[in-house]
Chains A and B, each alone.
Chain A
């Protein structure tokens, strides 16, 4: 469906995209996440053929999309895009939605039918005659979605479709995306800064950092096995600690963490200063006697901070260094934890990722696969 290789874009002397490789299959829902300024919007604009890449190869729907305007126009007509802040034309809702169909010179009866069902699809049935600019923000975004999908695109791009939406509108937009992919086989690419939105609806997620993909994979893989330290930070690894590598043997590294020896699975050879990362939910918390059974990484410390997060609680345990653990509220109550409680924290070696320490990104030494 989409084959992009080495797409680069320089804009006013600034490199926005720096060698993007991407391959999307028909019917796939692909999510692009990344921090602000990573180039997500630029990439979508290039893929929707609104902008030309400064460099790189791009094939869309089986055609070379870097060639003549007429070819690009032909391809563009088989796709559509929903912008982050959609433009609503100062006409009726009907005229807004019908816009793309009129460009394609479709007959009036069919236009009417399609507009009607598109509006129903986004939860705005029967609003055809309303003046579009009088809709609420969420309704406008859904209107824009209806306008983009009414032309039945083979590929639909959505740039941060839910960022400014209330939860209800956001759900409608997300449900519509899933339905389109499932029922019509529409290929969908969307950007978000909310990784969990990507996790909920995307087949695959690409993490775009500084103009290139740091990692492209399924959501769980990215959440638990980030490709490098920056992805780890981005996907929310709460515990990122400096350590020193003591030895490495058969995929297992022995590290020195502030004087404590810890073990971590590490696919790559480890060497010198590193970061060791793990998620808060990978930390088990206990009280009383030292747990005898595995895991091998055990730390004793004091609870210094408790912060609520919905039904969960984050607790910070100080044990020479700070570890953040996540518990259910119930588990915390059962353990009768409070500020100053003495606890054990343990983390499995397999939950720990090891990344090279020098600099932030640099070379990758973390685990690739289990």
Chain B
């Protein structure tokens, strides 16, 4: 119990004093997960749109696979990317293992199924009649999908938020691909894992609180962005 109280106090202290190492880890966490989310959005929004629009044999199976991958264990995603990026793997020459870029790739792969699947769900929630309306108003297929995405923007935003949440809170992939290297690839979750394993429970809790505050900040700024847009 003591550790939890100390954790709160420690969190406040770290935030107030702007501890440079914590700040660096926090910013790195945020940047990596944000890039991963944006990249996955850049893939999953067009991909989800395509899967939503096109009818083809085996479509149900594809969506089923995507939904199954929601449960992709973070360690397995990490291991998969690790094996690809490892020196002995096919993309070893890129030297991306133990770099933030490698972590971005791992997190992107990890959350891609969620963002894609939920994009499809968001579009499906919009209904055929919207598409009919757009087409009857003279939209090209591209214009119509843009407008449908616009209608589904809140649902898609929450899909991306969920993806971001999974990215910033996961530790397995970041640990395997990033290596938790101080000053290079240490992020909040891997730092928490490290501090826990060496018994710094209150620091772990403090970092956890910072992570949650970060997530809160992202949520709020998205909500503000949504309101500002109206």
Contact = CB atoms under 8 A, between A and B. Distances in A.
A and B touch in the complex (CB under 8 A): yes
Contacts of B127: 87
A290 interface: no
Chain B, interface size category, equals 10 to 19
Interface string B136-155: 11111001000100110000
A89 interface: yes
Given A89-B147, A90-B151, A99-B147, A83 B138 contact: no
B138 A104 contact: yes
Interface string B115-144: 000000000000101101111111110010
Contacts of B151: 89-90
Interface string A293-304: 000000000000
Contact of B132 (A79, A83, A91, A148): A83
A87 B116 CA distance: 25
A86 B139 contact: no
Which residue of B129, B137, B143 has the most chain A CB atoms within 10 A of its CB atom? B137
B137 A103 contact: yes
A147 B132 contact: no
Interface in A60-97: 73, 76-77, 79-81, 83, 85-87, 89-91
Contacts of A87: 127, 129-130, 132-133
Contact of B140 (A48, A50, A81, A103): A103
Given A89-B147, A90-B151, A99-B147, A50 B129 contact: no
A50 B130 contact: no
Contacts of A157: 136
A77 to B, nearest CB: 4
Nearest to A157: B136
Contact of B135 (A76, A89, A104): A76
A86 B133 contact: yes
Contact of A151 (B129, B132, B137, B150): B137
Contact of B137 (A90, A91, A99, A131): A99
A268 interface: no
B135 A148 contact: no
A147 B150 CA distance: 18
A76 B132 contact: no
B135 A83 contact: no
A350 B95 CA distance: 96
B136 A80 contact: yes
A103 B132 CA distance: 14
Contacts of B132: 45, 50, 83, 87
Query: Most chain-A Cβ atoms within 10 A of its Cβ — which of B127, B134, B135, B147?
Result: B135
Contacts of A77: 138
Nearest to B132: A50
A304 to B, nearest CB: 48
Contacts of B133: 83, 86-87
Contacts of B138: 76-77, 80, 100, 103-104, 151
A245 to B, nearest CB: 50
A33 B75 CA distance: 63
Nearest to B153: A90
A48 B134 CA distance: 12
A50 B137 contact: no
Contacts of A80: 136-138
A85 B137 contact: no
Contact of B129 (A79, A85, A99, A148): A85
B137 A100 contact: yes
A79 to B, nearest CB: 8
A61 to B, nearest CB: 14
Given A87-B130, A103-B143, A48 B136 contact: yes
A81 B134 CA distance: 10
A157 B127 CA distance: 21
Interface string A133-164: 00000000000000110010000010000000
B129 A147 contact: no
A151 B133 CA distance: 13
A50 B136 contact: yes
A48 to B, nearest CB: 5
A76 B147 contact: no
A157 to B, nearest CB: 8
Which of B127, B139, B150: most chain A Cβ within 10 A?
A: B139
Nearest to B135: A50
A152 to B, nearest CB: 11
Given A87-B129, A87-B130, A99-B147, A147 B135 contact: no
B136 to A, nearest CB: 4
Interface of A: 45, 48, 50, 73, 76-77, 79-81, 83, 85-87, 89-91, 99-100, 103-104, 131, 147-148, 151, 157
30 contacts: A45-B132, A50-B135, A50-B136, A73-B140, A76-B135, A76-B136, A76-B138, A79-B136, A80-B137, A83-B129, A83-B132, A83-B133, A83-B136, A85-B129, A86-B133, A87-B130, A89-B130, A89-B151, A90-B151, A99-B137, A99-B139, A103-B134, A103-B138, A103-B139, A103-B140, A103-B143, A147-B137, A148-B136, A148-B137, A151-B138
Complex A-B, nearest 3 residue pairs according to Cβ-Cβ distance, in ascending order = A100-B137, A81-B136, A77-B138
Given A80-B137, A80-B138, A100-B139, 15 more contacts: A50-B135, A50-B136, A79-B136, A80-B136, A87-B129, A87-B130, A89-B150, A91-B150, A99-B134, A103-B137, A103-B138, A147-B137, A148-B136, A151-B138, A157-B136
